[in-house]
Amino acid sequence: MSAVVVGQTKGPLRKKEFWNMVCRRFNTWGLLVLTSLVAMTSAAQVYKSDACTGDSTSACKDMRLAFTFGVIVAALSLIVMLAAVLFRERQNCMIWVETLVAAVGIAFFATTTRRLTSPGGLATTVGNLYYFNWGSLFVSVVLFLDCIDEKFYSTDKTETTEVEVAAQMEEKSSTPVPVPPPEAAVAEAQV
């Protein structure tokens, strides 16, 4: 992977360095983008099918709503992922943005899941629209709870990267460790 982050490095980044830079929820945000896009495209397919011949029905309005919410959540999630890479030094500020976007995802997907999977909705049968609306709601809830946990309940307020840990271990190994004289060890063993 040869991604270059502005102002951070002059050469290509290794995978390990790249993943050390981004937030720990980066992959989960990617999963939310994926589930939102699948839910959005499924809603668009159902809207274009024969099920929505009359545009004025509530089911067709629900499909347009699901499509719109899928686009919004996918776009916001992509923005969070980009911001996590670009503003990784400001993780304290980013946690509030992540929490807000996850709350928006919960509100949007709770609304569409309730409307589409309720009796009479177009996603009452099992399929992509059914599964990915529920999946998007679940991922949004997981992200929200993880953000709240990190902000309010995390005991480790300063995350150290693997590079920092390696540097600390190197410092410890370069300082000499005092070794007790053999007589002291024998005296301790006799007592």
Query: In the chain, where are the structural domains located?
Result: 24-154
Please, are residues 132 and 42 in contact by the beta-carbon 8 Å criterion?
A: yes
- Give the residue from 22, 4, 145 showing the smallest Cα distance to 90: 22
Q: What is the pLDDT of residue 119?
A: 84
Mean pLDDT, all residues of the chain = 77
Q: Which amino acid is at 185?
A: A
- Going by pLDDT thresholds of 50, 70 and 90, the confidence category of residue 151 is confident
> pLDDT for 10-27, tens place per residue?
455 566 655 555 667 888
Closest CA to 122 of 54, 72, 74: 54
Q: Which residues neighbour 9 within 8 Å (Cβ) at sequence distance 6 or greater?
A: 17
Q: What is the C-alpha radius of gyration for the chain, rounded to an integer number of angstroms? A: 25
What tokens does 160 get? Answer: 């150290």
Q: What is the pLDDT of residues 41-97, one digit of tens each?
A: 988 888 887 667 666 677 778 888 889 999 999 999 999 988 888 877 676 778 888
For residue 168, the 8-state DSSP code is H
Q: What confidence score (pLDDT) does residue 101 get?
A: 94
Encoded tokens for 75:
């776009």
pLDDT of residue 38: 93
Average of pLDDT values for 168-172? 64
Q: Are 43 and 70 in contact (CB under 8 A)?
A: yes
**CA–CA gap between residue 107 and residue 101 (Å, rounded):** 10
